[in-house]
Amino acid sequence: MPKSSDAIRKANLDGNLGLIIYSIPNFPDPETYLAVLNELESNSFVSVLETTFPVADRYSEYANETIQNAHHTAIQYESGLGSIDHLQTISKPKICVLYRATYEDEGFTKILDYSQGNLDGILFEWEVESDSDFVSLGQQRNIEVIHCAGSYLTEAEVDDLAKKLPQNPLIYFEAASMTGAELSDIDEMKQFAKLLKSKRPDFCLAAGFGVKTPEDVALLAGIEEMDAVIVGTAFLQAIEKGTASAIDYVDSITRSLTRS
């Protein structure tokens, strides 16, 4: 089982949703970032850390203004593959949002080789038409290529996804139309989550896009099939205000992870 799913399943056994936090190396500055990273590492409610290689351009339409501005700030301090070297000391599972600029400038094989033993998963930030070769290359290095799934998928496309993925895959459940957007209709999300789990009960569903408030998390905790939530844009807005703001924000989220 991939390490990320392992950590999320552990949270589920404790009666909680798993929690994935997206941060960008050195944002808003190296001192604040490292201080908060250490807090996330020690926080028992945080299951997985989501990171990235900071980039200056070639974002997809999914990247909102907050995310792009954060990248522009972070890249002033460090860029390239070495920007994640500090994560070697972090014991929690780490997955990386891979942006097109890094992929085009470095190449996927080089990224995987550099990340082997450090990253546990990679998620493409843009839509990749065919990723079977990427999945195979990742498996050779014990790095999971994470797939997105939204209610726009037909049942036939869900069937194809279920057939091609290895055991216990982490699925990025798109809970909104883009990063930072409003959550989709709750009944629509419940229906799609049920469909996914009916095809593969071992799918580990982590809801991202639009998860901002404790109320959002509580709403998603009410979906029986949901396993975790991913917080990105709102966390970046909190950490930009300083270490205390970021810690307070995470604490507010964790209080809604417990299932009623």
> What's the per-residue H, E or C state across 78-137?
CCCHHHHHHHHHCCCCEEEEECHHHHHHHCHHHHHHHHCCCCCEEEECCCCCCCHHHHHH
pLDDT of residue 221: 95
Cα separation, 204 vs 190, in Å, equals 15
Per-residue pLDDT of the chain (260 residues; tens, 9 = 90+): 469 999 999 999 999 999 999 999 999 999 999 999 999 999 999 999 999 999 999 999 989 999 999 999 999 999 999 999 999 999 999 999 999 999 999 999 999 999 998 999 999 999 887 777 898 899 999 999 999 999 999 999 999 999 988 899 999 999 987 776 788 899 999 999 999 999 999 999 999 998 999 999 999 999 999 999 999 999 999 999 999 999 999 999 999 999 87
Q: How big is the chain by its Cα radius of gyration, in Å?
A: 17
Chain mean position to CA 4: 10
Among 145, 202, 144, 213, residue whose Cα is nearest residue 175: 213
pLDDT of residue 2: 61
Chain mean position to CA 216: 16
pLDDT of residue 1: 41
